[in-house]
Amino acid sequence: MIEVNDLRKSYNGSRGLDGFNLKVDKGELFGLVGPNGAGKTTLMKILASLLVPDSGVAQVAGMSVQHNRDAVKTLIGYMPDQPGLYQDMRLREFLQFFADAFHVSKNRQPATIDSALTRAGLRDRSDAYVEELSFGMKQRLVLAKTLLHEPKLLLLDEPATGLDPIARLDLRRELQQLNAEGVTILISSHILSDLEDICTRVALISGGKNAADAEGNQVIELRKTTAVAKIYEVELLDEAAAASQSAAATGAKVISAEGNRLLIEVAGGKTEAAAVLRELMSAGIEVAGFRQQSSTLEERYQKAFGGKRR
Amino acid sequence: MNPMVRKELNLRMRERRGWILPSLYLVILAAVITLAYYLTALEGRGFEVRQVQGSEVGIAMFLTAAYAQMGILLLLAPIFSAGALTIEKEQRTMAGLLTSLLSPFQIWWGKFAASLLFVLLLIVSGLPMLSVSFAFGGIGPWEVFMATITTVIALGSLSAIGLYWSSVFRRSVHATAVTYATIIALTLVTFIVFIIYVAARHNADSWQSFAWYVKGPLYLNPVFFLTMSFAPARELYPEWIRCLGVFVCLGLLATGMSLWNLRRGGEVV
């Protein structure tokens, strides 16, 4: 659905994108992760045909976003990181304007607008002015507007920013439902747990280029558990510092030893972990707890971008 | 109907300035015309007016009204046009417009039509005041028509220039300031340059004898354009026609550059 090859874009000398590559399959819910200034918004804007790249290829459904702007616009729904609204408009008026702007036929408009209002949970407030809505409601209204022309691809730039936890959960459910209905979604977010729970894959971006996690993956498959090394938290009765040497002797990599908590990385599966635990106990170390920590997206993000502040 | 035009008109007429500005405009225009009447028709001391009031009163009232109208509209036009696109950038709605199926021309036309229609509303509401001079003679429908059409063309062109600056800048305050600067350059600077040149020659050459580069800047002057519209119908060529050409070209140039800016609109969203 999306194919990006060696995409470059610079603004007044500074690089927005510097040879970025991406491939998103049809029907995917794909995440884009990177620190501030990594180039996420630039990529989204290019795909939404708002920006013209300096070089490289950006295609949506096999069409160049540069050369087939109108055709691409009918396929995509773009929600910018700070979406704007006409505060002096009533909700129905606002949706009517964008239904006209997206050439939704006049006879389909009432049903389309009613369904958008219902989907956004704003049906009973259709005559209210936009300025009267809460932030979460406004965000739902923008998403409803973005979906008016039934796009096949949704480009969502930081859609959860500023939303409260309940609104974030609602947004996640909405996106999962849309994805189940066949809409391909590319979503960038700083709230990594949002991406982790709903995305099938996540691409890492930094400095306008593809970035890789500690294991060298540029695209992380979130629905697969193929981690070669797993992290275990060992709770001890004594000081962890004393046990760290014994732990290292077992072949495990000591990540941290603070208080009576030891964090180790063990290569392999449960058998190798059990062997490490056995070795620790046979070395006379009293272990009170031994738990595996899942390698979360947040941890992989920290490993990939931990040292970079932009 | 272009959805942009409908949206713009709806939103503009909902604003407080939608009724404050026309009211203020009519009050000022009425005051200026009344003042022109008394200044022309007063006789002796006090507020006694002449018993016989002829065409000189009508002509004075009409000319005062026409120039006052142009002056007021030159001050008001940037308010409508210069903020038209920047407001979309400021409230972050421009991305929504540019990613919709509206073409850059439809977006521009919506903004331009709304700006010009508001100016037209003011001009049409002021027409009865311009027509008061009919009662005194010396002025006919042709003069009123020419003054009105000239004002509309000049204001249309200046609205297009305002929209161009609006497509360049991100902030309304910057676009409005530069639009006012442009209007000052076109009205006052061209006039001052002409006066300096004529004064420097220390002779009373006729208008026809001035070289093209002396007269040239004045063709950019909307007040000069209005003055030329008062010429008899057979004398509209060359001066009024040249002014018309210049203002139409200015408007088209500003439109073309605005559309080019809108096509690469994402760079400034």
Band of residue B81 on the pLDDT scale cut at 50, 70, 90: very high
Of A84, A97, A98, the CB nearest to B91: A84
Q: What is the CA radius of gyration of chain A?
A: 24
A267 and A285 housed in the same domain: yes
Give tens-digit pLDDT for B143-181: 999 999 999 999 999 999 999 999 999 999 999 999 999
How many inter-chain contacts (A to B, CB under 8 Å) are there? 74
Q: Do the Cβ atoms of A78 and B99 come within 8 Å? A: yes
What percent of chain A is helix, strand and coil (3-state, nearest 5)?
A: 35, 30, 35
Both structure tokens of A122: 């704003």
A246 and A162 housed in the same domain: no
Interface of B with A (CB under 8 A): 3-4, 6-7, 10-11, 14-15, 88, 91-102, 264-267, 269
Q: Do the Cβ atoms of B98 and A45 come within 8 Å? A: no
How much is the average pLDDT of B91-119?
Answer: 92
Query: pLDDT digit of tens for each residue in chain A (310 aa)?
Result: 899 998 888 887 788 888 889 999 988 899 998 888 888 889 999 999 888 888 999 999 889 888 888 899 999 999 988 878 998 899 999 999 999 999 998 899 999 999 999 988 888 888 899 999 888 888 889 989 999 998 999 999 988 877 777 777 788 888 888 888 889 999 998 767 777 778 888 888 888 888 877 667 777 777 544 456 677 888 888 887 777 777 777 778 887 888 888 888 887 777 788 888 888 888 888 888 888 776 566 666 666 666 554 4
Give pLDDT, residue B160: 96
> Is residue A169 in some structural domain?
yes
Q: Do the Cβ atoms of B91 and A97 come within 8 Å? A: no
Lowest pLDDT segment from A236-245, B110-119, B126-135, B150-159: A236-245
A140 and A266 housed in the same domain: no
> Is residue A299 in some structural domain?
no
> Is residue A264 in some structural domain?
yes
Residue with tokens 């949706």, as numbered in its chain: A95
Tell whether A56 lies on the interface with B, counting CB pairs under 8 A. Answer: no
> Is residue A7 in some structural domain?
yes
A170 and A265 housed in the same domain: no
> Is residue A304 in some structural domain?
no
Give pLDDT, residue A102: 92
CATH code assigned at A136: 3.40.50.300
ipTM above 0.85, yes or no: no
Rounded CA-CA distance B218/B224 in Å is 6
B243 pLDDT more than 90 = yes
Amino acid sitting at position B23: S
> Is residue A12 in some structural domain?
yes
Of A51, A88, A101, the CB nearest to B266: A51
Q: Do the Cβ atoms of A80 and B95 come within 8 Å? A: yes
Question: Among the three residues A190, A221, A252, which one is the final residue of a domain in this structure?
Answer: A221
Q: Do the Cβ atoms of B3 and A145 come within 8 Å? A: no
Asked if residue B81 lies in contact with residue B158, where contact means CB atoms within 8 angstroms, the answer is yes
A200 and A233 housed in the same domain: no
Q: Which residues pair with residue A256 across a beta bridge?
A: A263
Q: What is the CA radius of gyration of chain B?
A: 21
Q: Do the Cβ atoms of B95 and A93 come within 8 Å? A: no
Rounded CA-CA distance A293/A190 in Å is 22
Tell whether A150 lies on the interface with B, counting CB pairs under 8 A. Answer: no
Band of residue B2 on the pLDDT scale cut at 50, 70, 90: confident
B269 pLDDT more than 60 = no
Amino acid sitting at position A46: I
CA distances from B32 to A77, B67, B72, B152, B196 (A): 54, 10, 11, 20, 29
A209-210 vs A55-60, strand pairing mode: unpaired
A63-64 vs A55-60, strand pairing mode: antiparallel
Smallest CA–CA distance from A52 into chain B, residue:
B264
The alpha carbon of residue A227 is apart from the nearest alpha carbon of chain B, in Å, by: 40
Both structure tokens of A85: 């609204």
Give pLDDT, residue A309: 46
Neighbours of A116 (CB within 10 A): 25
Give pLDDT, residue A225: 45
Residue with tokens 């200026």, as numbered in its chain: B32
DSSP letter string, B135-165? GTSS--HHHHHHHHHHHHHHHHHHHHHHHHH
Q: CB under 8 Å to B114, separation ≥6 — which residues? A: B4, B5, B8, B9, B12, B80, B84
CATH code assigned at A257: 3.30.70.100
Q: Supply the range of the domain harboring residue A211.
A: 2-221
A53 and A8 housed in the same domain: yes
Query: Domain locations in chain B?
Result: 3-267
Q: CB under 8 Å to B51, separation ≥6 — which residues? A: none
Give pLDDT, residue B44: 67
> Is residue A18 in some structural domain?
yes
Q: Is B127 helix (H, G, I), strand (E, B) or coil?
A: helix
Give pLDDT, residue A306: 62
A217 and A245 housed in the same domain: no
Q: CB under 8 Å to B15, separation ≥6 — which residues? A: A88
A163 and A280 housed in the same domain: no
B89 pLDDT more than 80 = yes
Both structure tokens of B102: 């509206």
> Is residue A310 in some structural domain?
no
Question: Total domain count for chain A?
Answer: 2
Q: Do the Cβ atoms of B100 and A74 come within 8 Å? A: no
Band of residue B107 on the pLDDT scale cut at 50, 70, 90: very high
Asked if residue B121 lies in contact with residue B19, where contact means CB atoms within 8 angstroms, the answer is no
Smallest CA–CA distance from A97 into chain B, residue:
B3
Give pLDDT, residue A226: 45
Which of A88, A97, A104 to probe the B interface (max B CBs under 10 A)?
A97
Smallest CA–CA distance from B1 into chain A, residue:
A100
Q: Do the Cβ atoms of A49 and B266 come within 8 Å? A: yes
